[in-house]
């Protein structure tokens, strides 16, 4: 089961829906999610499915031993698409039906971003753990309350940083770095370009009060990777900037952002944008470069425009060799580790401190970002 390759291409399409319709993603190799089964060790429900990341989130928990019990969503079109892939899920009449079900230990959500933290607080107060799509929190005020309730209830509030946790080459990178393949890590460079087709985007995508800003949203992935690969437990924002440089018709959209940061064990640079052209056969040429004292690693997550087909490519250069790793058959351990943590009250998949710190850094970088004003 661990080697089963999860496909987003099957589910993530250019979808023209209502205002709360599904966000566009794309491309990875083909397999069906509905066929993924393993022995159930926990029961979980899904509340709100406004972003299609929910498919990979549910699949990860199922791989790890979760039984999908029920789902609630206000939008009938999104609900129909979800049930097509997960027909085992019962349609709940309300959020409370899932929240009050004492047999359910975990709730997943990919709702509208500004609604994710309030739902997570409610979930934890109902004695359940929570796995939410990124951004899992969109303001520092929300984060303060989430931290307070998490400490009070001792429930798990986990954010699915999928660019690390659900990318096979990035998982392998962690193993290589732990084994000392490039010495001590000095710097990470995380690039998160994304494709945007405005006609397929729901209204909330263009409302900064709903999505929180480009660094808060897309950048949260890169902060997670920076902390993980540098093994930093604290960090400061050196500089950040954001702007709408090419979409004046959407005044609240931020289409570009970048950040320099410094941690107690390394430094980092992050760039995110909505400028992936339609000519690329992927939602974005996501890349991670890690510089070490004895070499470097480059991960080409979704596509290698000058190399082999598909995604999950890893290149290693050190004092001994230059080597390519095709990681498409590597396991994805997050789901199993996460289910273990729910059962054992441990932190093997991701510590709560790391989860919150990655989000806190993104929120701080967003808050202090200077505005870009390019005059052409």
Region at 51 (left for phi over 0; alpha for psi -120 to 50; beta for the rest)? beta
Higher pLDDT, residue 46 or 307: 46
**Proportion of the chain above pLDDT 70, given as a percent:** 90
According to CATH, the topology of domain 164-332+364-371 is: Dihydrodipicolinate Reductase; domain 2 (3.30.360)
pLDDT for the residue numbered 38 = 57
Q: Which residues of 16-38 are buried (b: 16+ CB within 10 A; e: fewer)?
A: eeeebbbbbbbbbeeeebeebeb
By the 8 A CB rule, do 133 and 53 touch? yes
Higher pLDDT, residue 3 or 97: 97
pLDDT digits (tens, 9 = 90+) for 60-76: 999 999 999 999 999 99
- Residue 344's CB is within 10 A of a number of other CB atoms, namely 9
Mean pLDDT on 351-374? 97
The tokens describing 255, both together, are 């289409």
pLDDT for the residue numbered 27 = 30
**Proportion of the chain above pLDDT 90, given as a percent:** 87
Residue 14 reports pLDDT greater than 90:
no
pLDDT for the residue numbered 140 = 98
At 283, is the secondary structure helix, strand, or coil?
coil
Residue 30 reports pLDDT greater than 60:
no
By the 8 A CB rule, do 221 and 241 touch? no
Picking from 214, 217, 108, 213, the residue whose alpha carbon sits closest to that of residue 157 is 108
User: Which residues, 6 or more positions from 42, have their beta carbon under 8 angstroms from its beta carbon?
Assistant: 61, 65, 66, 67, 105, 106, 339, 342, 343
Band of pLDDT at residue 19, cut at 50, 70 and 90: very low
The tokens describing 149, both together, are 């309730």
By the 8 A CB rule, do 246 and 374 touch? no
Mean pLDDT on 290-296? 98
At 16, is the secondary structure helix, strand, or coil?
coil
Mean pLDDT on 42-57? 97
- Residue 150's CB is within 10 A of a number of other CB atoms, namely 19
If you ran DSSP here, which 8-state letter would residue 297 be given?
A: E
Q: How many angstroms separate the CA atoms of 137 and 61, rounded?
A: 21
Residue 17 reports pLDDT greater than 70:
no
By the 8 A CB rule, do 70 and 88 touch? no
By the 8 A CB rule, do 66 and 337 touch? no
Question: Which residues make beta-bridge pairs with 242?
Answer: 257, 371
- Name the CA dihedral angle for 202, 203, 206, 210, rounded to a multiple of 10 degrees: -100
Q: How many angstroms separate the CA atoms of 348 and 360, rounded?
A: 21
If you ran DSSP here, which 8-state letter would residue 135 be given?
A: P
Mean pLDDT on 15-20? 31
Looking up tokens 């709730």 gives 107
Q: How many angstroms separate the CA atoms of 206 and 221, rounded?
A: 20
User: Which residues, 6 or more positions from 181, have their beta carbon under 8 angstroms from its beta carbon?
Assistant: 292, 294, 295, 297, 316, 318
pLDDT for the residue numbered 375 = 73
Higher pLDDT, residue 343 or 307: 343
Cis preceding-peptide flag for 338 (omega within 30 of 0): no
Residue 4 reports pLDDT greater than 70:
no
Q: Map out the domains of the chain as residue ranges.
A: 164-332+364-371
By the 8 A CB rule, do 256 and 245 touch? yes
Residue 34 reports pLDDT greater than 50:
no
Residue 16 reports pLDDT greater than 70:
no
Residue 13 reports pLDDT greater than 70:
no
Residue 325 reports pLDDT greater than 70:
yes
pTM of the model: 0.89
- Residue 256's CB is within 10 A of a number of other CB atoms, namely 20
pLDDT digits (tens, 9 = 90+) for 89-139: 999 999 999 999 999 999 999 999 999 999 999 999 999 999 999 999 999
Mean pLDDT on 14-24? 31
Residue 203 reports pLDDT greater than 50:
yes
Q: What is the CA radius of gyration of the chain?
A: 20
Mean pLDDT on 173-187? 98
pLDDT digits (tens, 9 = 90+) for 206-222: 999 999 999 999 999 99
Mean pLDDT on 311-339? 97
Mean pLDDT on 246-265? 97
Q: DSSP secondary structure string, 77-108?
A: HHHHHHHHH-TTPEEPSSHHHHHT-TT--EEE
pLDDT for the residue numbered 53 = 96
Mean pLDDT on 269-291? 97
The tokens describing 43, both together, are 């029961």
Mean pLDDT on 148-166? 98
What does pLDDT average to over the chain? 91
């Amino acid at each position: 089961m661990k080697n089963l390759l999860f496909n987003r291409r099957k589910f993530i399409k250019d979808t023209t829906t209502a205002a709360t319709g599904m966000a566009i993603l794309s491309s990875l190799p083909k397999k069906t999610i509905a066929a993924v089964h393993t022995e159930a060790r926990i029961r979980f429900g899904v509340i709100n499915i406004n972003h299609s990341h929910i498919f990979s989130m549910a699949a990860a928990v199922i791989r790890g031993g979760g039984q999908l019990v029920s789902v609630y969503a206000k939008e009938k079109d999104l609900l129909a698409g979800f049930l097509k892939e997960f027909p085992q899920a019962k349609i709940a009449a309300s959020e409370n039906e899932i929240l009050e079900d004492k047999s359910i230990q975990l709730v997943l959500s990919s709702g509208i971003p500004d609604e994710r933290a309030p739902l997570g607080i409610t979930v934890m107060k109902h004695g359940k753990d929570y796995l939410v799509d990124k951004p899992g929190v969109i303001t520092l005020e929300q984060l303060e309350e989430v931290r307070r309730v998490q400490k009070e209830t001792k429930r798990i509030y986990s954010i699915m940083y999928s660019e690390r946790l659900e990318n096979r080459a990035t998982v392998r990178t962690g193993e290589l770095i732990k084994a000392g393949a490039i010495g001590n890590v000095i710097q990470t460079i995380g690039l998160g370009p994304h494709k945007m087709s405005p006609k397929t985007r729901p209204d909330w995508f263009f409302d900064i009060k709903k999505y929180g800003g480009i660094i808060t949203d897309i950048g949260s992935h890169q902060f997670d990777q920076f902390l993980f690969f540098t093994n930093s437990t604290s960090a400061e924002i050196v500089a950040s900037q954001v702007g709408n440089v090419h979409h004046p018709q959407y005044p609240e959209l931020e289409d570009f952002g970048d950040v320099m940061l410094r941690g107690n064990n390394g430094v980092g640079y992050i760039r995110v944008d909505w400028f992936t052209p339609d000519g690329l056969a992927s939602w974005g040429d996501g890349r991670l470069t890690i510089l070490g004292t004895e070499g470097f690693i480059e991960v080409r997550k979704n596509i290698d425009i000058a190399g082999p087909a598909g995604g999950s490519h890893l290149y290693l250069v050190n004092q001994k060799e230059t080597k390519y790793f095709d990681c498409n058959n590597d396991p994805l351990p997050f789901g199993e580790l996460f289910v273990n943590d729910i059962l054992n009250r441990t932190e093997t998949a991701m510590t709560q401190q790391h989860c919150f710190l990655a989000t806190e850094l993104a929120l701080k970088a967003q808050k202090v970002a200077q505005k870009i004003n390019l005059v052409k």
